[in-house]
């Protein structure tokens, strides 16, 4: 499917020009061309003439050649479009008995609609972006079956085992009532038997070049069809009856090889191909998920996205505009969140033992960071670490003093968000994501998308190790919200590394910090503990969030939190009675080869919180834990910690004011009654 404005710009090579020629505008019709094309499609000239005659029946009012076929828990319905009717939608109906007339059509179940040009795979064609590369949807990959431009497609989930299903298709251009039903033309005469079997993805295209790759890597593109009906093992993925969804996999490691996995979330106007990780990472699978809906009133060329989460249950993905009144009641459905969870699960099932589930990493840039943050907050035990480049961390943060901030009250990003989720000043609508706290409560949308709040909510829980880089001159995601984020990171002792410089959105000459490397995350795993540094003496000064005059920020132009301390992975010990690690001070190199801090200090101070401990945990309330700091074999610090609880939740163990040296020192924590 594609926007109406692009019809005249599409070029089909060796394929019928049905979607190319706007037949509804007679001045553009070239009958000879149409005759040639339709003859190529084995359609008789008499039929063409019938279709083109004003008021011709039945083909001017009803579709033809309807077929329905069961496959892998879904039913694929195809039909031949009406030539002089292709400007709107086709509407699909289902019944347990044959649909034979207007009365039985009225008694059937409405499944949903698809645009007249649905068979043209706009998203894949747009993502590949090569001239003349126009892709069409497929209904199977073995044998490979493509829906051509004369036909259309609707896919629905089976909802009852063994029951029959009949279907009918009504064209939006047909306004007459009663509506005419012709068996095997616009209504199926034979039933399709439903089966509740696992729904699958189909390999749509292999060997797609990875943009920016210097090693010739390619990806496989997979396709599946989501609906507004959830069935066991397959969540609702849209509020429309049928939408195609894609993702790509770069398989840089063998099937069955327990590879690391890197999940890439593209930015706001990106896609799963253009924004795939270009760097080759041996023994890994790189997965590019996609966030796209055909909301061309938001962006006439590319469509729109869901902020990697979802949208209001009544949001019209085809007709909505960014200036529409925001919803004030109802539920924000996390269609995208549930979809990408299913896609990841499908990959793990389909390629068993291929991905090491303890080494799955999240990579986001710009708006793509929303996907990485969301999964980190909601499923912290599933993902090892994440890189966040130029992220928005608090969607509904107060206005930035910088008037160019797109998330300010009148900014484009704020308006788009309100159309999806409601006005942040007047409503904080519920989502359909449970909090998982043992109650029936669910997340509210503007709490869930407030990372400073979520960090506090999860203050007793270990999260994936997060690395983030932000820019003070970034007018897209804006700067002043970062001050609140950094305060929350520090107060809640989550660790991670947070960098900033004077970069603009998308980078430029003011990028002082090097690009975050996905490969650097390989040291982390969900079954490995790590020390979370906080309140370090080497932290930079990000400034304050109340600078009302240009340049609307203060503090250090280049700086970092928790970036100048590190640890030795091989020295980490995590048993039921002992936790131990070697830590050290480090300088970091900037793009201009200078170092931060400029001079190596003799020592530094930091708090250290034990995060993601595997064995050194579950101590009874009141348990005494002793800690020791050894430097060059000599004890330089020691202390005692009491294991406290908040209700029935253990409070993470934190060592305060630990002295750290450049050449490293050994930190040991153990039960005081074990020596």
Residue 223 lies in a domain: no
Same domain assignment for residues 337 and 475: yes
Does the pLDDT of residue 31 top 80, yes or no? Answer: no
pLDDT of amino acid 175: 60
The residue among 142, 159, 193 that closes a domain is: 193
177-198 confidence digits (pLDDT tens): 678 999 999 999 999 999 999 9
Does the pLDDT of residue 13 top 80, yes or no? Answer: no
Same domain assignment for residues 572 and 524: no
The residue among 528, 545, 574 that closes a domain is: 528
Does the pLDDT of residue 314 top 50, yes or no? Answer: yes
Percent above pLDDT 70 for the chain: 90
Same domain assignment for residues 151 and 24: yes
96-109 confidence digits (pLDDT tens): 999 999 999 999 99
Same domain assignment for residues 499 and 576: no
pLDDT of amino acid 660: 98
Residue 199 lies in a domain: no
Confidence of residue 18 (pLDDT cuts 50, 70, 90): very low
Same domain assignment for residues 513 and 609: no
Residue 521 lies in a domain: yes
Does the pLDDT of residue 33 top 50, yes or no? Answer: no
CATH number at 488 reads 3.40.50.1820
450-488 confidence digits (pLDDT tens): 999 999 999 999 999 999 999 999 999 999 999 999 999
Same domain assignment for residues 164 and 292: no
Domain membership of residue 643 as a residue range? 564-675
Same domain assignment for residues 495 and 581: no
CATH number at 165 reads 2.60.40.10
Mean per-residue pLDDT for 619-627?
97
The Cα 12–Cα 277 span in angstroms is 30
Give the closest residue to 388 by CA, choosing from 410, 414, 369: 369
120-179 confidence digits (pLDDT tens): 999 999 999 865 568 999 999 999 999 998 999 999 999 999 999 999 999 987 666 678
373-380's contacts with Cβ under 8 Å and 24+ in sequence apart are: 373/451, 374/308, 374/309, 374/337, 374/448, 376/463, 376/464, 376/466, 377/448, 377/451, 377/454, 377/458, 377/463, 378/337, 378/433, 379/341, 380/458, 380/461, 380/462, 380/463, 380/464
CATH number at 671 reads 2.60.120
Same domain assignment for residues 148 and 276: no
Same domain assignment for residues 508 and 620: no
Same domain assignment for residues 474 and 581: no
Residue 410 lies in a domain: yes
Same domain assignment for residues 585 and 507: no
Same domain assignment for residues 522 and 413: yes
The Cα 426–Cα 294 span in angstroms is 28
Residue 217 lies in a domain: no
Residue 556 lies in a domain: no
Does the pLDDT of residue 293 top 90, yes or no? Answer: yes
Does the pLDDT of residue 50 top 50, yes or no? Answer: no
Residue 536 lies in a domain: no
Mean pLDDT over the full length of the chain = 91
Confidence of residue 436 (pLDDT cuts 50, 70, 90): confident
Mean per-residue pLDDT for 28-35?
33
218-276 confidence digits (pLDDT tens): 999 999 999 999 999 999 999 999 999 999 999 999 999 999 999 999 999 999 999 99
Does the pLDDT of residue 24 top 90, yes or no? Answer: no
Q: For the chain, how many structural domains are there in total?
A: 3
Does the pLDDT of residue 39 top 50, yes or no? Answer: no
In which residue are the tokens 């962006």 written? 299
Confidence of residue 86 (pLDDT cuts 50, 70, 90): low
Residue 541 lies in a domain: no
SS3 state of residue 46: helix
Does the pLDDT of residue 37 top 80, yes or no? Answer: no
Does the pLDDT of residue 10 top 70, yes or no? Answer: no
Q: Which DSSP string corresponds to 374-418?
A: HHHHH-TTT--EEEEES---BTTPPPPSSTT-TTSTTSHHHHHHH
The residue among 141, 161, 193 that closes a domain is: 193
Confidence of residue 508 (pLDDT cuts 50, 70, 90): confident
Give the closest residue to 74 by CA, choosing from 243, 279, 207: 243
């Amino acid at each position: 499917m594609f926007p109406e404005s692009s019809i005249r710009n599409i070029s089909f090579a060796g394929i019928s020009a049905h979607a190319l020629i706007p037949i509804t505008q007679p001045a553009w019709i070239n009958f000879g061309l149409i005759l040639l094309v339709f003859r190529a499609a084995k359609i008789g000239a008499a039929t063409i003439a019938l279709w083109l005659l004003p008021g011709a029946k039945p083909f001017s009012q009803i579709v033809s050649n309807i077929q329905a076929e069961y496959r892998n828990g879904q039913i694929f319905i195809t039909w031949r479009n009406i030539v002089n009717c292709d400007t709107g939608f086709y509407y699909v109906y289902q019944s347990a008995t044959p649909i034979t007339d207007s009365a039985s059509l009225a008694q059937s179940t409405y499944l949903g609609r698809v645009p007249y040009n649905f068979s043209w795979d706009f998203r894949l064609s747009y993502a590949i972006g090569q001239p003349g590369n126009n892709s069409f949807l497929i209904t199977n990959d073995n044998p490979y079956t493509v829906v051509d431009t004369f036909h259309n497609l609707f896919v629905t989930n089976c909802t009852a085992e063994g029951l029959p299903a009949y279907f009918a298709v009504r064209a939006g251009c047909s306004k007459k009532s009663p509506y005419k039903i012709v068996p095997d033309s616009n209504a199926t005469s034979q039933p399709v038997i439903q089966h509740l079997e696992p729904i699958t993805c189909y390999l749509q295209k292999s060997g797609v070049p990875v943009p920016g790759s210097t090693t010739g890597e390619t990806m496989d593109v997979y396709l599946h069809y989501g609906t507004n009906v959830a069935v066991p093992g397959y969540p609702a993925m849209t509020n429309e009856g049928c939408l195609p969804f894609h993702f790509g996999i770069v398989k840089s490691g063998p099937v069955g090889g327990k590879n690391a996995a890197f999940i890439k979330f593209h930015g706001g106007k990106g896609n799963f191909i253009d924004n795939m990780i270009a760097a080759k990472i041996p023994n890994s699978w790189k997965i590019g998920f996609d966030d796209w809906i055909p909301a061309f009133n938001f962006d006439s060329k590319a469509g729109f996205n869901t902020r990697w989460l979802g949208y209001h249950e009544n949001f019209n993905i085809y007709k909505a505009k960014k200036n529409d009144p925001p919803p004030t009641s109802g539920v924000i459905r996390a269609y995208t969140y549930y979809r990408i969870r299913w896609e990841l699960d499908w990959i793990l099932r389909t390629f068993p033992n291929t991905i090491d589930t303890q080494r799955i990493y999240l990579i986001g840039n710009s708006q793509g960071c929303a996907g990485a943050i969301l999964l980190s907050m909601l499923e912290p035990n599933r993902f090892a670490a994440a890189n966040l480049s130029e992220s928005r961390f608090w969607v509904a943060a107060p206005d930035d003093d910088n008037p160019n901030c797109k998330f300010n009250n009148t900014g484009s990003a704020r308006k788009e968000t309100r159309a999806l989720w409601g006005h942040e000043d007047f409503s904080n609508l519920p989502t359909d994501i449970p909090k998982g706290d043992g109650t029936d409560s669910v997340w509210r949308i503007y709490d869930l998308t407030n990372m400073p709040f979520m960090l506090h909510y999860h203050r007793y829980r270990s999260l994936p190790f997060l690395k983030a880089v932000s820019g003070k001159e970034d007018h897209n995601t804006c700067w002043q919200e970062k001050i609140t984020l950094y305060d929350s990171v520090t107060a809640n002792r989550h660790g991670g590394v947070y960098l900033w410089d004077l970069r603009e959105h998308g980078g430029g000459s003011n990028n002082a910090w090097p690009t975050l490397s996905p490969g650097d995350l390989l040291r982390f795993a969900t079954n490995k503990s790590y020390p979370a540094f906080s309140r370090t003496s080497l932290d930079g000064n990000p400034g304050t969030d109340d600078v009302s005059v240009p340049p609307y920020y203060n503090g250090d132009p280049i700086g970092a939190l928790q970036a100048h301390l590190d640890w030795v992975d091989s020295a980490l010990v995590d048993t039921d009675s002992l936790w131990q690690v070697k830590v050290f001070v480090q300088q970091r190199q900037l793009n201009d080869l200078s170092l931060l801090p400029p001079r190596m200090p003799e020592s530094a101070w930091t708090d250290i919180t034990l995060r993601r401990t595997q064995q050194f945990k579950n101590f009874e309330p009141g348990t005494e834990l002793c800690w020791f700091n050894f430097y060059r074999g000599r004890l330089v610090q020691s202390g005692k910690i009491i294991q406290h609880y908040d209700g029935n939740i253990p409070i993470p163990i934190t060592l305060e004011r630990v002295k750290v040296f450049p050449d490293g020192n050994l930190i040991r924590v153990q039960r005081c009654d074990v020596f």
